[in-house]
Amino acid sequence: MNLNSVLITGTTSGLGRALLRHYARGPTKVVSVNRRRVGALEAEHPSVRFECVDVRSAEGVQRLLDELAASGQLPDVFILNAGINRLDNGDSFDLPAYREVMETNLFGVLNFVAPLSALPPGGVERHVVAVGSMVKYAGNPHGLGYAASKLALSASFDAWARMYAGTGLVFKQVILGPVDTGIHTMPERFPAWMNRVKSLAAASVEDAAAAIARFASTRKRTLLYPARALPLFGAMWMAQRLAPRFLAGRKSSSDGSRTAGARTADRAGRR
Ligand SMILES: NC(=O)c1ccc[n+]([C@@H]2O[C@H](COP(=O)([O-])OP(=O)(O)OC[C@H]3O[C@@H](n4cnc5c(N)ncnc54)[C@H](OP(=O)(O)O)[C@@H]3O)[C@@H](O)[C@H]2O)c1
């Protein structure tokens, strides 16, 4: 595609920040959407258009897209990257934390899809990229909202990719394995050996941003990155099925206390 402009959500840190830096080096116009202003980031990138919108606000996102459309500046590519991870299913299920994760990771993307899907076709090609996760293959039950949000995101984008095939609206997803950023956390909830394998499989944030930027302007539907992390998630998927206690967070039926499987995951040390 002929890429003139890109919108990226969540550029204050991690992958979003690396994507911003990647695009800002070239001729592509960048619209950066953050829930807070970061003076140093804005000063570093004077050519970038910074918008302060919380992706959980459907009204805020709609207003921004209306403004961009009205001024003929609706971007060609939307990289919907903003996301959070929370421990929401530990000793008890934390509904507010689960809801916050779903509202950010799932609705924070759907809030963009709804207005984009309502635009008149107009013969323009527009790519909408969801940033998913390999946790959709084998999630950590202690970060339940995170795994559930990424599963729902992936299922929604699969459906839209088929429905909108052949139209100007191209739905794509990046299924990310570990990338060396702040979100790649909760080590205390995994066995120590798994943390070691995860670190070995992790990609640098710059490499991940470059791979996502290459993928974003093609018509390919899915990017699995880094591919070397797939066997780890495959092994976790298999282990969760063959060994019921593996990363199951199982409770005792008598007093609700934690079982051996959960304690094994905890032994690496609590936060
Ligand atoms: N890193 C990994 O290993 C990995 C693996 C699989 C998938 N992913 C996915 O990659 C994406 C980026 O993750 P990351 O590792 O770069 O995490 P990160 O460093 O924590 O960055 C997350 C970004 O999202 C922003 N954000 C959070 N809530 C927001 C909201 N309501 N509205 C607007 N912006 C919001 C954050 O802004 P604030 O600074 O204001 O909080 C920050 O800019 C996420 O979707 C994550 O699920 C990451």
**Closest residue by CA, ligand 1 atom 19:** 14
pLDDT value, residue 71? 95
Residue 146 has pLDDT above 50, yes or no: yes
Residue 268 has pLDDT above 70, yes or no: no
Residue 208 Cα to ligand 1 middle (Å)? 14
pLDDT value, residue 61? 98
Both tokens of 18, joined, read 């690396």
Place of tokens 């495959």: 234
Q: What is the pLDDT of residues 114-138, one digit of tens each?
A: 999 999 877 889 999 999 999 999 8
Q: Determine the straight-line distance between the first and last CA of the chain, rounded to whole angstroms.
A: 46
Q: What is the mean pLDDT of residues 242-265?
A: 58
pLDDT value, residue 261? 43
Ligand 1 pocket residue status of 226, Cβ below 6 Å: no
Pairwise CA distance, residues 266 & 249, whole Å: 10
Torsion of CA 254, 256, 261, 264, to 10 degrees: -120
pTM of the predicted model as reported, rounded to 2 decimal places: 0.91
From 183, 205, 215, 223, the mutation candidate for ligand 1 (largest count of ligand atoms within 8 A of CB) is 183
Write down how long the chain is.
271
Q: Which of 104-108, 142-146, 224-228, 229-233 has the lowest mean pLDDT?
A: 229-233
pLDDT value, residue 201? 81
Does domain 5-232 bear CATH number 3.40.50.720? Answer: yes
Q: Which of 32-36, 57-61, 141-145 has the lowest mean pLDDT?
A: 141-145
pLDDT value, residue 54? 98
Ligand 1 pocket residue status of 5, Cβ below 6 Å: no
> Is 135:147 a contact under the CB 8 Å cutoff?
yes
Ligand 1 pocket residue status of 100, Cβ below 6 Å: no
Our separate counts of H helices and E strands in the chain read: 10, 7
Q: What is the mean pLDDT of residues 101-124?
A: 94
Residue 186 has pLDDT above 70, yes or no: no
Ligand 1 pocket residue status of 32, Cβ below 6 Å: no
Q: What is the mean pLDDT of the chain?
A: 89
Q: Which of 84-93, 167-176, 181-190 has the lowest mean pLDDT?
A: 181-190
Amino acid identity for residue 154 in this structure? S
Q: Can you give the residue ranges of every domain in the chain?
A: 5-232
ω into residue 226 within 30 of 0, thus cis? yes
Which of the pair, 261 or 102, is modelled with greater confidence? 102
Q: Which residues contact 160 (CB under 8 A, 6 or more apart)?
A: 113, 117, 128, 169, 171
